[in-house]
Amino acid sequence: MKHILKIMGLLVAISAIWIGLLETSVIPRSFTWLLPVYLIVSLGCYGLLMVGVGLMLFPTCPQEAVLLQKDIREAREFLKDKGVDVGSD
C-alpha cells in the first residue's frame, strides 16, 4: 500500500509542475504540451536501461544451481515411479 501512495504522490507532483508550467508560460505552450510525451519516453528509456543493467549484473548462485539439479533429479525419480515418461537424462 505504501508503494502505491509514493507513486500517486509522484504523479500528483509531476501534474502540479506541469500545470504550473502551463499557467506561468515559463516554457512556450507548444513545448509544455509535449512534456507528458517526453516523460513517458524518458520512463521507457529508464526502464530499458534498468533491465539491461539488471541482466548484466545478474548474480550467479552456484549453490542454488546444485539444489535445483537435485530437485530435478528427485522429481524425475518421483514421476518415473508413477509411470510417467520423463525423457532421457
- Count up the domains in the chain and report the number: 2
Residue 88 located in a structural domain:
no
Residue 89 located in a structural domain:
no
Instruction: State which residues form the domain around 8.
Output: 1-30
Same domain assignment for residues 38 and 19: no
Same domain assignment for residues 42 and 66: yes
**CA–CA distance from 60 to each of 3, 15, 57, 64, 65 (Å)?**
29, 41, 9, 9, 9
Q: What pLDDT, in 10s, does the model give residues 7-33?
A: 888 889 988 887 887 788 777 777 777
The one-letter amino acid at 28: P
Q: What pLDDT, in 10s, does the model give residues 31-57?
A: 777 777 888 888 889 889 989 988 888
Same domain assignment for residues 79 and 38: yes
pTM of the model: 0.47
